[in-house]
Chains A and B, each alone.
Chain A
Amino acid sequence: MAEAREPVTTLDTPIRLEYLFSAGIAQSKNLRGLAEGRFVGQRCPVCSKVYVPSRGSCPVDGVPTDEEVALGNTGTVTTFCVVNVPFAGQSIEIPYIVAQVLLDGADISFMGLIQEIPADQVRMGLRVEAVWVEPDQLGPSMASVKHFRPTGEPDAEYASYKDYT
């Protein structure tokens, strides 16, 4: 007689894979720039848009973005969110602000932490500047940018960043 058994309903099959990451030629230039405390973008030869970081091509025109463009430290908050949710490993006191920052001269925004301003005062159009980590802490990653803080300039006109929201 067959022995009555509990059916197997779940099993664990641990999977771990390790990878090299190849940033590519264009993004490597951006990463090396970050290690020197500066933003490096690339311009599309067809539409003249400046990407930071560039993945090597203009996603609109599909051509190499070979022209390097040195970008400054300042930019504009195009949109943002307030983080109120605590989670494991959180290193920043809540509430805090994660924003999309459009660097001056760039045509694409990227994500940045906004500090040195109360969370409820952050707004679209806020002018900000990058605060870099100490020189001996700089490395080829966005961790080189400690955060962005207000420059104190008047807010940017909506028209100046409406295409990037």
Chain B
Amino acid sequence: MPTPPSARGGRRPVAVVSFAQAQNQRREAHRNEVETLMPVFADVLGKVGITKDDVDFICSGSTDYLVGGPFSFVSALDAIGVWPPRRESHVEMDAAWALYEAWVVLQEDGVDAALVYGFGKSSLGDLSRIVALQLDPYVMAPLWPDPVALAALQARALLDAGKASEEDFAAVAARCRRSALDNPMAQVAYDRTVDELMTEDYVVAPLRRHALPPITDGAAAIVLAAGDKAFEWAERPAWITGIDHRIETHSPGGRDLTLSPSTAMAGRLAGVQDGRVDVAELHAPFAHQELILAQALDLGEGVSVNPSGGALAANALMAGGLIRIGEAASRIMDGRADRAVAHATSGPLLQQNLVAVLEGGR
């Protein structure tokens, strides 16, 4: 039996062995959440030839605010079928944090496999108002600051600090959308030059259309397995050799928006710099945020950043971070990369950040 690469933290090695996602699209008009998730589960379990009865733990990430109804995560369980009763949990966060919870639970003896999933139908309500409600309820949320305006303040801070130019934002968008041409699940993909993108009008200055993520309905799922089970199910598991998440103040006015110290700390603790990085999937919904994240993680030259197109290609809320981990893991599993970094964000303007390092080993 081969041995997994050495990991930071955790008493048992845990790996991503399967990843699947729904087609990302602007509006899934027909299927409800359960009907969207069922084929994703069939896909993610089928890829490794297992059934729901082979997983010991199920964890999901979603938010009722997108659906406008209570306990939507409970009804989503109808898509997997939880009889006989099984151990299950949910986070009201991006499902990358559900993966973190599953990674913790997999450290226990007797829990050898977990199914993690996230879903978000962003099209059901007015997203700019829904997302505003994650701000503090006393002084910020009542002003309904929409996420594009807040992101524009962050982009403006970058420009004012001389850390980036509007052309840099366009260069990120051009590269991500070009990479997305190779991603059949992407929602927005094109081949346009920076000069072409710079002719677009501002949506909220200094952000032009290209710097904004699409509004996406989507869902994704990952199977995690511990130890020998990972080798049993996958030819080349994507071992999680480091994972950490950190949080900053809730108030965007209380931090330097041009930096992401929580990403830097999570990256350090996950061991990003312990070796060469082939691929980095960064959860940057707005183009300028990729620049902040790449700097925080100290990604040098030669790293392929967001080869899937990232969140600029598709941005299903509550699933987008998990998809970054899945995209990074896929590149380990199929041998395109040996060492990958995956990042997920949650909260306003990169408030909370999770970083995972994935390795194929030998």
The interface-forming segment of A52-60, A97-105, A113-121, A136-144 is: A52-60
Chain A, range 1-34, C-beta contacts under 8 Å to B? 11, 13, 15, 17-28
Alpha-carbon separation in the docked complex, A93 to B68 (Å)? 32
The interface-forming segment of B5-13, B23-31, B188-196, B232-240 is: B23-31
B120 CB to nearest A CB, Å: 13
B205 within 8 A of A: no
**With A17-B68, A18-B125: A61-B81 Cβ-Cβ less than 8 Å:** yes
Q: Which residue of B lies closest to A61 (CB)?
A: B81
B41 within 8 A of A: yes
Contact with A along B257-275 (1 / 0, CB 8 A): 0000000000000000000
B336 within 8 A of A: no
Residue from B67, B81, B141 having most chain A Cβ neighbours under 10 A:
B81
Using Cβ atoms and an 8 Å threshold, which residues of chain A touch B30?
22, 24-25, 28
Alpha-carbon separation in the docked complex, A22 to B120 (Å)? 13
Chain A, range 30-82, C-beta contacts under 8 Å to B? 55-64
Inter-chain contact A57/B124, CB cutoff 8 Å: no
Contact with A along B335-346 (1 / 0, CB 8 A): 000000000000
Q: Which residue of B lies closest to A46 (CB)?
A: B81
Alpha-carbon separation in the docked complex, A36 to B68 (Å)? 28
Chain B, range 78-130, C-beta contacts under 8 Å to A? 78-83, 121, 123-126, 129-130
Q: From the candidates B32, B65, B78, B141, name the one contacting A62 in the complex (CB within 8 A).
A: B78
Give the size range of A's interface with the partner.
20 to 34
Residue from A17, A22, A59, A63 having most chain B Cβ neighbours under 10 A:
A22
Inter-chain contact B31/A62, CB cutoff 8 Å: no
Q: From the candidates B28, B38, B80, B129, name the one contacting A56 in the complex (CB within 8 A).
A: B38
Inter-chain contact A62/B41, CB cutoff 8 Å: yes
**With A13-B142, A17-B68, A57-B78: A22-B31 Cβ-Cβ less than 8 Å:** yes
Give the size range of B's interface with the partner.
20 to 34
Inter-chain contact B68/A19, CB cutoff 8 Å: yes
Inter-chain contact B82/A59, CB cutoff 8 Å: yes
A66 CB to nearest B CB, Å: 11
Inter-chain contact A57/B35, CB cutoff 8 Å: yes
Chain B, range 54-94, C-beta contacts under 8 Å to A? 65, 67-68, 75, 77-83
**With A17-B129, A19-B68, A22-B31: A60-B38 Cβ-Cβ less than 8 Å:** no
Alpha-carbon separation in the docked complex, A15 to B82 (Å)? 35
Inter-chain contact A56/B81, CB cutoff 8 Å: no
B22 within 8 A of A: no
Using Cβ atoms and an 8 Å threshold, which residues of chain B touch A24?
30-32, 34-35
Using Cβ atoms and an 8 Å threshold, which residues of chain A touch B41?
62
Inter-chain contact B125/A20, CB cutoff 8 Å: yes
Inter-chain contact A59/B78, CB cutoff 8 Å: yes
Inter-chain contact B38/A64, CB cutoff 8 Å: yes
B133 within 8 A of A: yes
Q: From the candidates A17, A19, A22, A57, name the one contacting B79 in the complex (CB within 8 A).
A: A57
Alpha-carbon separation in the docked complex, A27 to B32 (Å)? 9
Using Cβ atoms and an 8 Å threshold, which residues of chain A touch B67?
19
Q: From the candidates B34, B81, B126, B141, name the one contacting A60 in the complex (CB within 8 A).
A: B81
Inter-chain contact A17/B130, CB cutoff 8 Å: yes
Alpha-carbon separation in the docked complex, A21 to B124 (Å)? 7
Alpha-carbon separation in the docked complex, A62 to B80 (Å)? 4
Alpha-carbon separation in the docked complex, A56 to B75 (Å)? 11
Using Cβ atoms and an 8 Å threshold, which residues of chain A touch B81?
57-63
Residue from A26, A55, A60, A62 having most chain B Cβ neighbours under 10 A:
A62
Alpha-carbon separation in the docked complex, A11 to B140 (Å)? 13
A163 CB to nearest B CB, Å: 14
Alpha-carbon separation in the docked complex, A25 to B41 (Å)? 18
Inter-chain contact A25/B78, CB cutoff 8 Å: no
Interface residues of B, Cβ cutoff 8 Å to A: 28-32, 34-35, 38, 41, 52, 65, 67-68, 75, 77-83, 121, 123-126, 129-130, 133, 137-138, 141-142
Given contact pairs A20-B125, A62-B52, a sample of 11 additional A-B residue pairs in the complex whose CB atoms are under 8 Å apart? A13-B137, A13-B141, A17-B129, A21-B124, A23-B32, A24-B35, A55-B35, A57-B38, A61-B83, A62-B38, A62-B80
Shortest 3 CB-CB contacts between residues of A and residues of B: A62-B81, A24-B32, A19-B68
13 CB < 8 A contacts A-B: A13-B137, A17-B65, A17-B68, A17-B125, A24-B35, A25-B31, A25-B35, A55-B34, A55-B78, A57-B35, A59-B81, A61-B83, A62-B81
